[in-house]
């Protein structure tokens, strides 16, 4: 046992070392890495590292100031983003002002050469707002470029430099990557160029509400500020992700890194090269996932797959084609829709100015509508609007719903005005909610209008009272509610 301990100490610094079972007289287990049980990653690194670059963006001081304010307004104030998620560009300290130099340093990050004629992929937040960027290759050569094209909705960008015969990487198929596969992350963490870290794919298909369109690979390969835009590669040296974000409470790496999938990055790269922008289809709706099997069942669905339309934009394609708030989209152009991310990507890829078929569920019945998809407005999905805390009117309701612990009132023009609804809005508005009771615990709030109870329309306080008193809350009761912005949603009220 003493010799065994010494061996472990002597060799513990070697990557991939394990104390072999044969030392204890056991037979060696079969390899599970299919011929890639590497002691060193040196061959992969030698193949990949020459294609990794460092990027320093530069902009006029006033633009930096404006860009910094824009970022401040967009990300930290967005209530949907968990506090522990940090964009790497929060570490990019901006300098400059009216009395400063003509040109100031902006962000610093990484990138990788994807075409030998000088096409480089990086994150949009690395080059956002830059008038030009300085590129440093791994061999020390430096280039300056003003040919910068970005897509903020995916946080991807390309930069072109005037060079030929550069060492280029290739995109791998991120769909075939599996949880547990070993990967390397390359870049310049904290400005330390040419750094390499190793780990595995920890999860796939992550969506963190950092960008409008997301498909993240999660990895435990160490990623830090400065790694932004660098490649995440498999053991064949293929790019399967673009390093983009970390989850942290300290500001540094804590084992959870995010990389944009290569399949998404490849599509965006090709469109930016071809058109300079990314053209996407636009439906004109606000959406929400169905996450509860009981909600799905009460809505007439076979499984919790599909997307609830909570709001239909005025004069948008959905409204013109007959989609209504409260509908559930279950299929687009013959392709089943699993969730909101699936719907977003499906609509974005539909042909523009052409009709596409959507299958819906409305009031438990399936129907089909044809929608003519138009090009998505440039600013769609880019605003970060915080819900304002509104002072609730001090009024009395006309009916108590004792089982729910809420007080409601018949919505008239006076109440509609007080709660911010358009004149003529019909329904029963929630006036008061007891925080200790069932209604509040399920999600019912002051100012919501109850329009349906278990798919049956309600038009008066007495009707809601009658239906809610008879309802079985052990099985769950489905409420359709509306908010002042026109959004509709479903809330299941059930005893826990």
CB atoms within 10 A of CB 399: 19
- pLDDT value for 12: 30
- Residue 418 clears pLDDT 70, i.e. is over it: yes
Torsion sign (Cα): 37, 41, 42, 43: positive
- pLDDT value for 61: 57
Give the model's confidence band at 180: pLDDT under 50 very low, under 70 low, under 90 confident, else very high: very high
- pLDDT value for 386: 37
- pLDDT value for 363: 85
- Ranking 19-28, 197-206, 379-388, 437-446 by mean pLDDT, the lowest is 19-28
Average pLDDT, the chain: 80
C-alpha span between 330 and 73 (Å, rounded): 35
- pLDDT value for 210: 80
- Residue 20 clears pLDDT 80, i.e. is over it: no
- pLDDT value for 457: 86
- pLDDT value for 77: 39
Is residue 125 among the annotated active site residues?
yes
- pLDDT value for 118: 96
8 Å CB contact between 450 and 462: no
Q: For the chain, what is the largest distance between any 2 Cα atoms, rounded to a whole number of angstroms?
A: 86
Q: How many angstroms separate the Cα of 360 from the Cα of each of 265, 320, 445?
A: 31, 15, 28
For 72-90, write each residue's pLDDT tens digit.
444 433 444 444 444 444 4
- Residue 322 clears pLDDT 60, i.e. is over it: yes
Find tokens 């970390």 and name the residue: 246
The SS3 call for residue 198 is: strand
Please tell me which residue, 238 or 57, carries the higher pLDDT value: 238
In terms of Cα–Cα distance, which of 133, 51, 63 is closest to 98? Answer: 63
Q: What is the DSSP letter of 171?
A: B
The SS3 call for residue 452 is: strand
- pLDDT value for 66: 53
C-alpha span between 364 and 454 (Å, rounded): 11
Single out the catalytic residue among 54, 125, 340, 356: 125
The SS3 call for residue 41 is: coil
DSSP 45-61: HHHHGGGEEEEEEEE-H
Single out the catalytic residue among 151, 155, 339, 489: 155
- Residue 10 clears pLDDT 50, i.e. is over it: no
In terms of Cα–Cα distance, which of 210, 152, 209, 129 is closest to 378? Answer: 152
- Ranking 119-123, 279-283, 294-298, 345-349 by mean pLDDT, the lowest is 294-298
Percent of the chain beyond pLDDT 90? 42
Q: Give the residue-averaged pLDDT of 469-477.
A: 87
Is residue 340 among the annotated active site residues?
no
- pLDDT value for 389: 37
The long-range contacts involving 475-480, CB below 8 angstroms and separated by at least 24 positions, are 476/294, 476/298, 477/453, 478/295, 478/298, 478/299, 478/452, 478/453, 478/454, 479/444, 479/450, 479/452, 479/453, 480/326, 480/450, 480/451, 480/452, 480/453, 480/455
Q: Give the residue-averaged pLDDT of 2-22.
A: 32
H or E stretch covering 318: helix 317-321
Single out the catalytic residue among 145, 228, 262, 340: 228
C-alpha span between 265 and 405 (Å, rounded): 50
For 27-53, write each residue's pLDDT tens digit.
444 434 444 567 799 999 999 999 999
Q: Give the residue-averaged pLDDT of 241-260.
A: 80
Please tell me which residue, 374 or 296, carries the higher pLDDT value: 374
For 193-236, write each residue's pLDDT tens digit.
999 999 999 999 888 778 888 899 999 999 988 899 999 999 99
Domains of the chain: 47-160 (2.40.10.10), 174-275 (2.40.10.10), 281-375 (2.30.42.10), 399-493 (2.30.42.10)
Give the model's confidence band at 299: pLDDT under 50 very low, under 70 low, under 90 confident, else very high: confident
- pLDDT value for 16: 34
C-alpha span between 188 and 10 (Å, rounded): 31
For 94-133, write each residue's pLDDT tens digit.
333 333 344 445 578 999 999 999 999 999 999 998 999 9
């Amino acid at each position: 046992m003493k010799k065994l301990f010494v061996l472990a100490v002597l060799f513990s610094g070697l990557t991939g070392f394990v104390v072999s079972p044969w030392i204890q007289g056991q037979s060696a287990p079969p390899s599970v890495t299919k011929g890639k049980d590497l002691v060193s990653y040196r061959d992969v690194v030698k193949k990949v590292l020459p294609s990794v670059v460092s990027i320093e963006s530069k902009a006029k001081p006033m633009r930096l100031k404006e860009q910094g304010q824009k970022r401040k307004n967009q990300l930290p104030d967005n209530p949907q983003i968990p506090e522990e998620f940090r964009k790497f560009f929060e570490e990019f300290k901006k300098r400059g002002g009216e009395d400063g130099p003509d040109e100031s340093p902006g962000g610093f990050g990484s990138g990788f050469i994807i075409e030998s004629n000088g096409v480089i992929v990086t994150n949009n937040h690395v080059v956002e707002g830059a008038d030009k960027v300085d590129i440093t290759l791994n061999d020390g050569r430096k280039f300056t470029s003003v040919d910068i094209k970005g897509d903020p909705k995916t946080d991807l960008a390309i930069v072109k430099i005037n060079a030929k015969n550069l060492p280029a990487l290739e995109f791998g198929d991120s769909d075939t990557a599996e949880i547990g596969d070993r990967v390397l992350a390359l870049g310049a963490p904290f400005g330390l160029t040419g750094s390499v870290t190793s780990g595995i794919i920890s999860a796939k298909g992550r969506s963190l509400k950092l960008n409008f369109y997301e498909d993240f690979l999660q990895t435990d390969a160490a990623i830090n500020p400065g790694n932004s835009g660098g490649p995440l590669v498999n053991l064949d040296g293929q790019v399967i992700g673009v390093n983009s974000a970390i989850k942290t409470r300290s500001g540094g790496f804590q084992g959870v890194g995010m990389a944009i999938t290569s399949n998404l990055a490849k599509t965006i790269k090709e469109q930016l090269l071809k058109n300079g922008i990314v053209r996407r289809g636009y439906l004109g709706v606000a959406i929400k996932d169905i996450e509860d099997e009981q909600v799905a069942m009460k809505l007439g669905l076979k499984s919790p797959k599909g997307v609830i339309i909570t709001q239909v934009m005025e004069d948008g394609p959905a409204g013109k084609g007959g989609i209504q708030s409260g509908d559930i989209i279950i299929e687009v152009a013959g392709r089943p829709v699993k969730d909101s991310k699936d719907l977003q990507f499906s609509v974005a890829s539909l042909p523009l100015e052409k009709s596409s078929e959507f299958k819906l569920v409305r009031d438990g019945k399936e129907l089909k509508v044809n929608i003519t998809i138009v090009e998505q407005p440039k600013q769609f999905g880019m605003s970060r609007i915080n819900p304002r805390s509104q002072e609730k009117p001090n009024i009395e309701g006309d009916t108590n719903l004792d089982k729910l612990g809420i007080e409601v009132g018949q919505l008239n023009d006076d109440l509609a005005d007080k709660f911010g609804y358009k004149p003529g809005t019909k329904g029963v508005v929630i006036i008061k909610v007891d925080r200790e009771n069932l209604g509040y615990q399920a999600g019912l709030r002051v100012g919501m209008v109850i329009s349906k109870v278990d798919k049956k329309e309600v038009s008066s306080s007495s009707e809601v009272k009658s239906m809610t008193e008879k309802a079985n809350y052990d099985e769950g009761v489905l409420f359709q509610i509306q908010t002042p912005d026109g959004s509709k949603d479903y809330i299941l009220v059930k005893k826990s």
